[in-house]
Structure 1
Amino acid sequence: MIPLLSVVVPFYNVEPYITECLKSLAAQTLDDLEVILVDDGSVDGSRRVAEDFVARDERFVLIGQRNLGPGPARNQGIRQARGTYLAFADSDDVVPPEAYERLVGKLAETGSDMACGAVRRLVDGELEESILHEKVFRRPQLCTHITDKQVLIRDRTVWNKVYRRDFWERCGLRFPAGIYEDVPVAMQAHVLATSVDMVGEVVYHWRKREEGGTSITQRRSELPNLQERLAAIRAVRAFLDERAPELLDGFDALVLEKDTLFLFQALERCEEDPEPLLELGRAWQAELGPHVLATAPSLRRLELHLLGRGLVDELRTVREFRRGREDVTRVVPRGRRVANWYGDYPFFRDRRLRIPDEVFDARDELKLIARVDSCERAGAAYRLRGHVAIHRVDRKIPKVGLWLSDGRRRIPLETRRKGRYGVVAAIDPERLEGGGPWRLQVRAEMRGLVLKGWCRDGEANTAWRFSVPGWSRSGMDMPQ
């Protein structure tokens, strides 16, 4: 009988973890599945564990090959797969019980080519947020596409998904050799899919290894590993340049945010000639679009500048500075008449290094923080109390203005300051007759910097609205 879902699990020397992985697959609430275990030449006890599961559960199948890597192992498993749907699991990870039922159920409902879901990291037996996926699945959506939902550029793993088998074959998807074989395939699948379903539930637990030396994650700062990562980045960029160039900036920004960390870590730990790593770093930067490099956060621009000049000791100093700042690094104004705003980082206007000021420029990173803490009746009026600050600026704002707007009228409010960031204003309901609901807008001015924005409800963290005779909260997101 043909199974509904085929799950391909390559494994290589994962004896401490494979039992938990296979137990999680055996416990799936979607039981109409087959699990194809591909032994990629293991020399520990992993194969014995796999054989035990095959003997106990007829849904498990075991095949083997010489050690060729996870990509060829997955391809081998796909050739054996019979299911209508296709999924992948890494042998050291865990799949929550209802994951495949949810993903397959969405595909059956919508007809999309692929369904994907949220991920948690499994660290020392506890679940934490996956930093790679943290911004992706906050707003689930069915029948979407990466060109419409560009946050999916961050969803570059293959194992938190279920694919239609005929979609996979129609597009000719195939894993390349190498240790970052999943990133190009994940991006190709997103672009080539007609539509994609995003579910908000967690469908995968991605383990951070506690022991053993063969994990790709553990060895990601080694030079050969970094070279393969760059090869994968180049493959993705070449594909996007041809099929979806509008996604290139988003992908490059993600590479700068996540992948370059491993290059910096390698340089920090390097005890030999750093030139091969520096050369690789320059090649890495040369691959990325100039717009993304120019608009990177100022602290990352400083790290990239030092990398490009081969200033390894200074780079290590900046990396140590970054780690030592548990709070957010300050942005400060410099200049008497016309002030600009710069990150308060090491080597600013260092006479020896002569790093250009624009490397430290952080004006575009400043954001207004405005919230309403309370709004209470006070006689015939309402007393509003709130908080206005600028993210990363640790000083009182000299000028703050508040007004209510319903889209047609703007009603300015008399505002008093209370403490460093507090504001108090009175609202006269008689001035608001014939309009509403009203939203509170803020204008903050400091040393040539002017920021405007809308207030949020400090308790509910949603849009703040005021309606006569009282005020109300709305679940609607504030425009940025």
Structure 2
Amino acid sequence: MEAWVKVSVIIPVYNVEKYLGDCLDSLLLQTLREIEIICVDDGATDSSPRILDEYARKDSRLKVIHQKNAGAGAARNQGVAQARGEYIGFVDSDDVVYPTMYEELYRKASSSRADMVITGEVETAAGDPIQFPIENFKKASKVLELDRFNAVDYPSIIKNVFLWNRIYRRTFWLEHRFQIPEGRRFAEDLLICTQTSVLAERIGYVRGPLYWYRNERENSLSDTLAKSSKKLDYITAVKETKKFLQATGKYPVFQQDFLVFATHLFAMLQSKIADYDHFYEFFSGMERLLDEYDLNALEKTWIRDAYPHVLHTLKHKNFRTHYCKNRIRSILHIK
């Protein structure tokens, strides 16, 4: 008879030999012993596959799946298909988790019978914690202190779009047939995190930090966007997410938080694009997503003061002028 697994931790692995050992050690040292660690080797070409096999020989809780390169989304989906745990979680293969992370998340999940449990603060390699945006702190504090809540109680949760700072009840995931988008290098978390947050009837919260995010990685988010042919993954993800929210009939509840998150991320990323054709395609794609109703809603948020040039461009479609100003700012190192 197989041992009861409380949490299955799924790790997509691709060419991370430098950091992989630290990640695996942090998981094997978890105070929650009833875990399985499912590592999906996504066709890595460095020593990562060998490292995985060596760890698997030493600890039976670690399982390795070798597959041809298909991307992180496909690797995560493969891991979910093999998972046996009551709950599932995801870790990036160059990050590290605190020893008590899964014990604390699982304890909260069990006591509140939650579909999902999330931690709201993440430590970074640079030493600065990521604290997820909370516009109305008093309201958020009251909600997050509840034994459990849902996304309607706390709409700002949809701005927390990282798979690795949470666990999901596996039957909840399977009942809704969730699938992480495949074939993308960017923004693959956005849709799935929104879907799971909105559809979860019971959400639990645990104070962090419990996760250590290596934000000094090579191929950072902005570098990937600037160099990759997958630049429009972001636009695709935002479009799919908006369509999902509208289909639930709850878009008005989440509209402001969704728009603030999307525009804030967009404003940070568009300044990294050096080529005008890509800039135009990226910006016009964003413009098509936001109707007058959305733009008017943004005018009532802090986005209006933080990124007035972005809102002006989206309204008036003067892309070339905005592109030229962006390039000048970049050359002169002006924010």
Q: Which range, TM-score by smaller chain?
A: 0.7 to 0.9
State the Cα deviation string for residues 83-115 of structure 1 (Å, max 9, x = none).
111111110111111111111000110111110
Shift of 1:226: 2.4
Is the alpha carbon distance of 1:50 and 1:218 closer, same or farther for their aligned partners in structure 2, counting shifts above 3 Å?
farther
SS at match of 2:94: coil
Relative to the length of structure 2, the TM-score reads: 0.87
What does 1:305-320 correspond to in 2, within 5 Å?
Answer: 305-306=312-313, 308-309=317-318, 310-311=320-321, 312-317=323-328
SS at match of 2:163: coil
Report the residue type matching 1:254 in the other structure: F
Q: Which has the higher helix share?
A: 2
Report the residue type matching 1:5 in the other structure: V
Say yes or no: does 1:103 pair with 2:105: yes
Say yes or no: does 1:221 pair with 2:226: yes
Cα separation, 2, equivalents of 1:191 and 1:306: 31
Cα separation, 2, equivalents of 1:32 and 1:61: 14
**Is the Cα–Cα contact under 8 Å of residues 253 and 292 in structure 1 kept in the other structure?**
no
Indicate the residue corresponding to 2:89 in structure 1. Answer: 87
Report the residue type matching 1:196 in the other structure: I
Which of the numbers 211, 214, 222 marks the counterpart of 1:207? Answer: 214
Shift of 1:204: 1.5
Indicate the residue corresponding to 1:128 in structure 2. Answer: 128
**Is the Cα–Cα contact under 8 Å of residues 40 and 65 in structure 2 kept in the other structure?**
yes
**Is the Cα–Cα contact under 8 Å of residues 30 and 99 in structure 2 kept in the other structure?**
yes
Shift of 1:56: 1.0
What does 1:177-256 correspond to in 2, within 5 Å?
Answer: 177=182, 178-179=184-185, 180-211=187-218, 213=219, 218-222=223-227, 224-243=229-248, 244-245=250-251, 246-256=253-263
Is the alpha carbon distance of 1:218 and 1:46 closer, same or farther for their aligned partners in structure 2, counting shifts above 3 Å?
farther
Shift of 1:299: 4.6
**Is the Cα–Cα contact under 8 Å of residues 119 and 207 in structure 2 kept in the other structure?**
yes
The aligned length equals 314
Gaps of 5+ in 2: none
SS at match of 1:82: coil
Shift of 1:223: 5.5
- Relative contact order, CA 8 A, sep 6+: which one is greater? 2
Is the alpha carbon distance of 1:323 and 1:101 closer, same or farther for their aligned partners in structure 2, counting shifts above 3 Å?
farther
SS at match of 2:99: coil
Say yes or no: does 1:49 pair with 2:56: no
SS at match of 1:292: helix
Is the alpha carbon distance of 1:205 and 1:240 closer, same or farther for their aligned partners in structure 2, counting shifts above 3 Å?
same
Q: Which is greater in Rg?
A: 1
**Is the Cα–Cα contact under 8 Å of residues 209 and 218 in structure 1 kept in the other structure?**
no
Shift of 1:151: 1.8
**Is the Cα–Cα contact under 8 Å of residues 118 and 204 in structure 1 kept in the other structure?**
no
SS at match of 1:197: strand
Q: Percent identity?
A: 28
Say yes or no: does 1:265 pair with 2:276: no
Cα separation, 1, equivalents of 2:117 and 2:23: 21
What does 1:17-416 correspond to in 2, within 5 Å?
Answer: 17-123=19-125, 126-130=126-130, 133-135=132-134, 139=141, 140-141=144-145, 142-177=147-182, 178-179=184-185, 180-211=187-218, 213=219, 218-222=223-227, 224-243=229-248, 244-245=250-251, 246-266=253-273, 270=274, 272=275, 274-288=276-290, 289-295=294-300, 296-306=303-313, 308-309=317-318, 310-311=320-321, 312-317=323-328, 323=334
SS at match of 2:118: strand
Cα separation, 1, equivalents of 2:265 and 2:278: 21
Shift of 1:71: 0.8
**Is the Cα–Cα contact under 8 Å of residues 9 and 74 in structure 1 kept in the other structure?**
yes
Relative to the length of structure 1, the TM-score reads: 0.62
Q: Which has the higher strand share?
A: 1
Cα separation, 2, equivalents of 1:264 and 1:146: 32
**Runs in 1 of length 4+ with deviation above 4 angstroms?**
317-324
